[in-house]
Amino acid sequence: MSNVPPDLQYTKTHEWVRRLPDGTVEIGITDHAQHALGDLVFVDVPEAGRALKVGDPAAVVESVKAASDVYAPVSGEVTQGNPELAKEPEAVNTDPYGKGWLMRLRPASGGTTAELMSAPEYQKLLQTEAA
């Protein structure tokens, strides 16, 4: 069973969103997503300052068997891409909700947000997908 922390929000495309105290959001891919991808060998994170709209391809995660885009769940400006992932892409596998975060961004005021799910809703999605 995938780990789905209760305090985060989720997208249909298996990203998670964490709201930070300073008003920015942290984004990563879920435990389910990292498991489906397999061992990551490369993570391409966006540059600070890049403006993203909901649904834009924002990062690329590459495993030994596939390369997938990670889509922006929130519109806004990237404040930081996780610099550690260049050296340690496997952090996304070992700690997808912690050290494996991909990017932080400052939501655009009045900007749109993808339809985000709560943890129980995301759990249900995973069960539906599995069935």
Q: What is the binding site for another protein (CB under 8 A)? A: 42, 44, 47, 57, 62, 66-67, 69
Task: Specify the residue, 22 or 47, whose C-beta has the smaller distance to another protein.
Answer: 47
The distance between the two most distant Cα atoms of the chain, rounded to a whole number of Å, is 41
CB of 97 to another protein, least distance (A): 24
CB of 56 to another protein, least distance (A): 13
Identify any residues that bridge with 43 across adjacent strands, giving them in sequence order: 61
Task: Specify the residue, 61 or 91, whose C-beta has the smaller distance to another protein.
Answer: 61
CB of 61 to another protein, least distance (A): 10
Residues with Cβ within 8 Å of residue 63, at least 6 apart in sequence: 37, 38, 39, 40, 41
Task: Specify the residue, 48 or 126, whose C-beta has the smaller distance to another protein.
Answer: 48
Rg for the chain, CA atoms, rounded: 14
Answer yes or no: are the C-beta atoms of 82 and 89 closer than 8 Å: no
